[in-house]
Chain A
C-alpha cells in the first residue's frame, strides 16, 4: 500500500540469512512491482470469462492451467477438478490414444489454426457422454513457456439442424419417388384392370349360365377363349412394364471396380459423416477390368452402403464402420463386398431380401435390394448376403471379369 493509498502488487524474492543457531537474522532480496503484470492477467481472466466459447489454457505438458466458466458448463466439471489435469480427460477414449501425438506436433510448430480440420471432433463430458465440437488453437508466449489457448465451441445444435435438413431432403426424395411410382401404378392399374374386368365378367357369367342349367357349349367355349385371351393380355402388360424398366440397349464399357468403389466412397462421404460412420476399403491392386454399366454398378454400391448405414443406427459410434472390399476369385470372377457392423439380417428377412417391395424399414419402398439384384444379374453376376459371426452383415456380388465367359 502506497502513501496515496493506492494498492500495488509486488513480488518478493530473496533469501533469509541465519545466525549460528539457525535462527533467521535478516532477509536479503528484491521487491518487484508487478502491478502491471497482475493487471494484464486480470484483464485476460475477465476476457476469457466473458467469452461465449469454452476457453482452456494448456501447457506444453498437456495440462490445463486455466479454464473459464463456459468449460465448466460444457463439460460438467468444476474448475478445480480440471486445473493441473491432463487435457486428454476431455477427449473421448477412442481418440485419446492419438491425442498426445497431435499435441506434440502442434507444439513443435505452434501456429494459430483450427483443430482437426476435415474431421469430426467430439469432446467428452465428466459423465462420459460426448458432444460434437469445433476447436480453435492459438499459441501464446508466456514467461512460463508456450501455452495453447483452445476455444471450444459446442456444435450439437448445428449438427442437429444439419441432420434435420438432410432428413428433410431424404423425405422429399422419398416423396417424389413415391409420386412417380404412384403415377406408374395408376397407368399399369388401368392396363391390367381392363383384362381383369373382362376375365371376371366372363367367368362369373359362365358360372351363372351353368347354375341356370341352360348352358350352350359353343357359347361356353367362346367365353373361355375370351378369358384365355384376356389372361394373355394381362401377361403382355406385365412384360411391357418389365421392358420399360429395363429400357433400351444395355451400356457396357470397360470399368475398373476399384476406381468405381473409390468414387462411391467419395459420393457417400457426407452421409458417412452424418452417420458418424467410418469408411474403409480393401482393394485388390491387381483387379482385371470388367465390362459393365458404371452408373448402374455405382447404384448397386450406393444402395448397399446406404443400407449398411441404416443397419448401424443402433451400433455404438466407435464401432460404426463400412468396409468395401474387392478381390479376384481365381475363376475369372471378381467379388465385391460391403460389410457393416449393424444389426445383421433376420431369419424372416433373409428369404425375401432381394424381392421388390419387400422392406424392413418404416419408410422404405422395398426397391433398393431388388434393384441391386436386377442390375447385378443383368451383368451376368450373382448377389448374396450373409451375417458375419462377430456382428453385422456382408453383401457380396460377383461379376465376370472382362473376356470371361458369361
Chain B
C-alpha cells in the first residue's frame, strides 16, 4: 500500500481516548496524523498545502454539516472527508456522501476498513491537488495572452482553420497565423490537442460550441 507522499490525516473527535486510539492506529499504518477536539480547533490550524484526509465524527460538538463544509471551502485546503458515526444513521450518511464524503463508517469501525477509506481519501485529495495545480498553471499562462490572442485561442480550440478564423474576425489569414504562433508559444504547447487540454484545465470554453 503506497501512501501519497507529504500527506496528512486529521481526525476530529471530542473524545480524548478515541483521539489517542486513532492517532496510534494511523501511525501504525504509516500515516502522519494530528487530532483535534473540535472543528474550530482544526480551522485554527495553519493551512496544510498537501493532500489531506479529514476523519470526522458526525456527532462532534461545534461546527458541522453545511457550515463546516462552507468554512472548509473558503479556507481552500485540499481535504477529502471520511465520516464516522455512532449509530447507523441513514439520512446523515446519505447527506454526507452527497456532499462528497469519501466514506461513511459506523463506530465501532473495523480498523482495516478505516485505513482503506483514509487511503482512498488521500488518493482522491492528491488527484484533486494535481488538477488544482494544473488549473492554476494553465490560468497563469492564459493570463499572459492579449485580448486578441485570447480571441484567436478560443476559435482555435473550436477546431477552425486559420482561413475560417480570419473570416470570423474580418482580418487576413496571415495575421491569424502570427497570433496562433504566439498563443502556442505563450501557453507552452506545440499541438492543437495540447492547446485543448490547457483550455480544459483552465476552464476556458471554445468561442462557440463545436458543430
Q: Which B-chain residue is minimally distant from A223 (CB atoms)?
A: B24
Interface check A205, CB cutoff 8 A: yes
In-complex Cβ contact of B18 among A194, A212, A229 (8 A): A194
CA distance A230 to B112 in the complex (A): 20
Q: Which A-chain residue is minimally distant from B84 (CB atoms)?
A: A197
Closest chain A CB from B113 CB (angstroms):
11
Find residues 53-101 in chain B having any chain A CB closer than 8 Å to their own CB: 59, 84, 86-87
CA distance A195 to B16 in the complex (A): 10
A193 and B108 contact, CB distance less than 8 A:
yes
Q: Which residues on B are within 8 Å of A, measured CB to CB?
A: 15, 17-18, 20-22, 24-25, 27-29, 59, 84, 86-87, 107-112
Closest chain A CB from B144 CB (angstroms):
51
Chain B CB count within 10 A is highest, among A189, A205, A233, for A205
Q: Can you list 29 A-B contacts (CB < 8 A)?
A: A189-B86, A194-B15, A194-B18, A194-B86, A194-B107, A195-B17, A196-B108, A197-B15, A197-B84, A197-B109, A198-B18, A199-B21, A200-B108, A200-B110, A201-B21, A201-B22, A201-B24, A201-B25, A202-B25, A204-B28, A204-B111, A206-B24, A206-B28, A208-B25, A212-B28, A223-B24, A226-B21, A229-B17, A230-B17
* Chain A residues whose C-beta falls within 8 Å of the C-beta of B84 in the assembled complex: 197
Chain A CB count within 10 A is highest, among B18, B24, B27, B111, for B24
CA distance A193 to B21 in the complex (A): 13
Q: Identify the 4 closest CB pairs spanning chains A and B, nearest first.
A: A201-B21, A208-B28, A204-B111, A196-B108
Closest chain B CB from A400 CB (angstroms):
43
In-complex Cβ contact of A209 among B21, B28, B111 (8 A): B28
Find residues 188-247 in chain A having any chain B CB closer than 8 Å to their own CB: 189-190, 193-202, 204-209, 212, 223, 226, 229-230, 233
Q: Which B-chain residue is minimally distant from A194 (CB atoms)?
A: B15
A197 and B18 contact, CB distance less than 8 A:
yes
* Chain B residues whose C-beta falls within 8 Å of the C-beta of A205 in the assembled complex: 21, 24-25, 27-28, 111
CA distance A212 to B28 in the complex (A): 9
* Chain A residues whose C-beta falls within 8 Å of the C-beta of B15 in the assembled complex: 194, 197-198
Interface check A186, CB cutoff 8 A: yes
* Chain A residues whose C-beta falls within 8 Å of the C-beta of B111 in the assembled complex: 200-201, 204-205
Known: A201-B111, A202-B25, A209-B28. A193 touches B20 (CB 8 A): no
B28 and A193 contact, CB distance less than 8 A:
no
B86 and A202 contact, CB distance less than 8 A:
no
B108 and A208 contact, CB distance less than 8 A:
no
Closest chain A CB from B103 CB (angstroms):
15
Q: Which B-chain residue is minimally distant from A212 (CB atoms)?
A: B28
Additional A-B contacts beyond A189-B86, A200-B108 (16; CB < 8 A): A189-B87, A193-B107, A194-B15, A196-B108, A197-B18, A197-B84, A198-B15, A198-B18, A198-B21, A200-B109, A205-B21, A205-B24, A205-B25, A205-B28, A212-B28, A229-B17
B86 and A193 contact, CB distance less than 8 A:
yes
* Chain B residues whose C-beta falls within 8 Å of the C-beta of A223 in the assembled complex: 24
* Chain B residues whose C-beta falls within 8 Å of the C-beta of A196 in the assembled complex: 107-108
CA distance A204 to B114 in the complex (A): 11
Closest chain B CB from A232 CB (angstroms):
11
* Chain B residues whose C-beta falls within 8 Å of the C-beta of A233 in the assembled complex: 17
In-complex Cβ contact of A226 among B17, B107, B109, B110 (8 A): B17
Chain B CB count within 10 A is highest, among A190, A207, A229, for A190
* Chain B residues whose C-beta falls within 8 Å of the C-beta of A206 in the assembled complex: 24, 28
* Chain B residues whose C-beta falls within 8 Å of the C-beta of A195 in the assembled complex: 17
Closest chain B CB from A234 CB (angstroms):
10
CA distance A350 to B143 in the complex (A): 83
Closest chain B CB from A251 CB (angstroms):
34
Closest chain A CB from B69 CB (angstroms):
23
CA distance A189 to B87 in the complex (A): 7
* Chain B residues whose C-beta falls within 8 Å of the C-beta of A198 in the assembled complex: 15, 17-18, 20-21
A197 and B29 contact, CB distance less than 8 A:
no
CA distance A196 to B29 in the complex (A): 19
B17 and A190 contact, CB distance less than 8 A:
no
* Chain A residues whose C-beta falls within 8 Å of the C-beta of B18 in the assembled complex: 194, 197-198, 201
* Chain A residues whose C-beta falls within 8 Å of the C-beta of B112 in the assembled complex: 204
* Chain A residues whose C-beta falls within 8 Å of the C-beta of B109 in the assembled complex: 197, 200
CA distance A226 to B21 in the complex (A): 8
Q: Which B-chain residue is minimally distant from A233 (CB atoms)?
A: B17
In-complex Cβ contact of A204 among B20, B25, B59, B87 (8 A): B25
* Chain A residues whose C-beta falls within 8 Å of the C-beta of B29 in the assembled complex: 208
